[in-house]
Amino acid sequence: MPSGHESGVVRWASANRALSGNGASWTPLHLLEGTITPNGLHYERHHNGVPQIDPDRHQLLIHGLVNNPSFFTVENLLRYPMVSRICFLECGGNSNAGWNIQPSRAAAGFFHGLVSCSEWTGIPLATILDETGIDKRAKWLIAEGADAFAMNISIPVEKAYEDAMLALYQNGERLRPENGYPMRLILPGWEGVLNVKWLRRIQVTDQPVMARNETSKYTELQPSGKALMFTFEMEAKSLITSPSAGNLIPGPGLYQIKGLAWSGRGRIRKVDVSADGGRTWAEAHLDEPVLARSFTRFRLAWQWDGGSAVLKSRAIDETGYIQPERSELVARRGRHGYFHYNAIVSWAIAGDGYVSHVYDGNETPSAGTDPVRIDTGWD
């Protein structure tokens, strides 16, 4: 347990009052350092509660287009050769308050904290699929959880042969019940919803199942009138975690701007930071190691002269993708956006040192406004 003096460092739980067992809890990114999220502060997203699973009674079934349909017990799986990998996990609906007309007043983690980063240990999914003798016609894996929602979703087979993992451990200990105990899928860099928790079944097929979370949800109407589906990768994103909205900078002087950057497409190549609303940019230092599909911590010295300022960070990943300004993102995606909000985040510093969230950075910062938490809707 953390020191009692750190009792304020907690997740914020936002319950969906319309549906019992449905809600999310947010990682307090603005209160943390480094790149690994402690298990007790990992974000959570449940569609229908947390099942209490006895590992001795849980089994994983793999069937469909395979030669040997098989059940795997937890005890057996624990004997397989394992791998570890550090990667972030992010809900596709993270930061979606950014689509609102007014900038959110929530603290940084309670606006962007449906993302966490852990060291996951488990079995490459390819090992298990190969053992069941996967058929040449196989194109999709329909993964199903053992929660009351029995969440199911379609995953392209190629992801299993790229880097998907059947995870059993999280930061060295067995998965927490809330994060999928006794086993879950980890698909590095891909939308949180595909990382099925409490995994109990994979049906190998030649077509997607067209479940709720790939038809009515997780599809995005574009300005052209066509909708995007199966948008698996999380685009590059960054935000300054300190200082951040709701902070009061004590006075002019030297500060270290710190933040996090990540991309579902690979490594972060560069993070630029601006203190003048995007007119000029400086390259931030990136803490090593810079790992693909993981949190990367960036830092930059900043001399605050006591005048008003607007801080921004902009991530560029190894594919050359540049995190967009909000106006660009809204122009590209239109007004029906709900998922995949990854615009540049702007923090305005008022003359009194109060930090508030603004959109393009041209609005007047409202000094002394208390941050309030907002409900961002439900995916």
List interacting residues with ligand MTE (CB under 6 A): 42-47, 89, 91, 145, 147, 149, 151, 178-180, 192-193, 195-198, 379
Residue 201 interacting entry, from ligand MTE, Mo ion, none, C-beta within 5 to 8 Å by type: none
Residues 117, 29 contacting (CB under 8 angstroms): no
Residues 199, 183 contacting (CB under 8 angstroms): yes
CB of 236 to ligand MTE, least distance (A): 18
Binding of Mo ion at residue 145 (CB under 5 A)? Answer: no
Residues 163, 152 contacting (CB under 8 angstroms): no
ω before 69 within 30° of 0 (cis)?
no
Binding of Mo ion at residue 264 (CB under 5 A)? Answer: no
Strand partners, 255: 302
Of the candidates 192, 198, 205, 196, the one whose C-alpha atom is nearest the C-alpha of residue 176 is: 198
**Cβ-closest position to Mo ion:** 91
Binding of Mo ion at residue 192 (CB under 5 A)? Answer: yes
Residues 138, 157 contacting (CB under 8 angstroms): yes
CB of 213 to ligand MTE, least distance (A): 7
Cα distances from 262 to residues 35, 44, 58, 104, 317, in angstroms, run: 10, 19, 34, 22, 8
Report the alpha-carbon distance of residue 350 to residue 217 in Å, rounded.
39
Helices (H), the chain: 74-77, 109-112, 125-132, 157-162, 326-333
CB of 349 to ligand MTE, least distance (A): 32
Torsion sign (Cα): 125, 141, 235, 32: negative
Two tokens, residue 172: 């060295």
179 vs 274, which CB is nearer to ligand MTE?
179
CB of 185 to Mo ion, least distance (A): 13
Q: How many residues bind Mo ion (CB under 5 A)?
A: 4
As a whole number of Å, the CA-based R_g of the chain is: 21
Of the candidates 274, 254, 297, 293, the one whose C-alpha atom is nearest the C-alpha of residue 348 is: 274
Single residue of 60, 66, 74, 91 touching Mo ion by CB under 5 A: 91
Residue 151 interacting entry, from Mo ion, ligand MTE, none, C-beta within 5 to 8 Å by type: ligand MTE
CB of 379 to Mo ion, least distance (A): 5
Q: Which of residues 43-72 bind Mo ion (CB under 5 A)?
A: 45
Length of the chain: 379
CB of 47 to Mo ion, least distance (A): 9
**Cβ-closest position to ligand MTE:** 145
Residue 312 interacting entry, from Mo ion, ligand MTE, none, C-beta within 5 to 8 Å by type: none
19 vs 282, which CB is nearer to ligand MTE?
19
Stretch that binds Mo ion, among 86-94, 100-108, 203-211, 345-353 (CB under 5 A): 86-94
Q: Is 184 helix (H, G, I), strand (E, B) or coil?
A: strand
CB of 131 to Mo ion, least distance (A): 30
Report the interface residues with Mo ion, using CB under 5 A: 45, 91, 192-193
